[in-house]
Structures are given as C-alpha cells and as structure tokens.
Amino acid sequence: LLTRSSDLEMIRFNVKRPDGKRNFSAAIAWLTSGNDIANYGKIPQNFDLFVYENNSDNVDGIDDEHLIASSKSPNNSFERVSLPPTDAQYLTFRIVLTSEDSRSENFRQVVLGFDVASTN
C-alpha cells in the first residue's frame, strides 16, 4: 500500500463508526519544534492521510479498493479529508511520512494530533 519505497508508514488504526453516523471529516496536524523552520525555511516533515472502509477490526485487512479518501499535500503541517457517506463498521486510518529532512532537530520524531468528527 505504500506508494514509494521512501515512504514510511507511521501509524495505522481503526475508528469504529458510531451507529446512525455516515458522514465524517478527519484531520491530522503535526508540530515542529526548535529552529527547523528558521534554519531551513520549510517544515521539515510531510505526512499524508489515507482513509479506508473496513468491516473488520483488522487494521491489516485493507487494500486500495477500499480507499475512500486521502489527503496528499506537501509543505504544510496538516492534512484534512471529508469522507463520502459510508456504512462500513470501521474507518481505518493510515498516516504515512512521505518526506523528511534528515537535518531536522526532530528527525524521526513527531508530535501528531488527530481528530475525526461526524458531520451529520
């Protein structure tokens, strides 16, 4: 499921869909501490967010056929997706590190926030 050999899957987890809820939005944001932005003029890490429909609590039982949303935007500190209506029992989230500057003070470290909310 990783699209490039340099990508590094950081986190994969399920959220059980609440009964009666079908429409969701999800977002991740990450913090950069220290002097990275001042030193290099950019955010040193980039993550992408992928969301899959899943009728099992098995986080490994997903494939590209069940991908329902993704956010792949470079050079920012957040990703946000609005999901299409779903009746799947679980939403499986994958957070993938797609680039990282090895000079970063925070190399291979991240403070990551996540939220998912029903829009109905």
Round to whole Å and give the CA distance between 78 and 116.
Answer: 14
Is 0.85 surpassed by the pTM of this model? yes
Average pLDDT, rounded, for the chain: 88
- The pLDDT tens digits for 82-107 are 999 999 999 999 999 998 889 988 88
Q: Which residues of the chain have pLDDT under 50?
A: 1-5
Tell me how crowded residue 16 is: count the other CB atoms within 10 A of its CB.
Answer: 11
- Asked if 52 and 60 touch (Cβ cutoff 8 Å), the reply is no
Tell how far CA 3 is from the center of its chain: 14
Round to whole Å and give the CA distance between 4 and 70.
Answer: 16
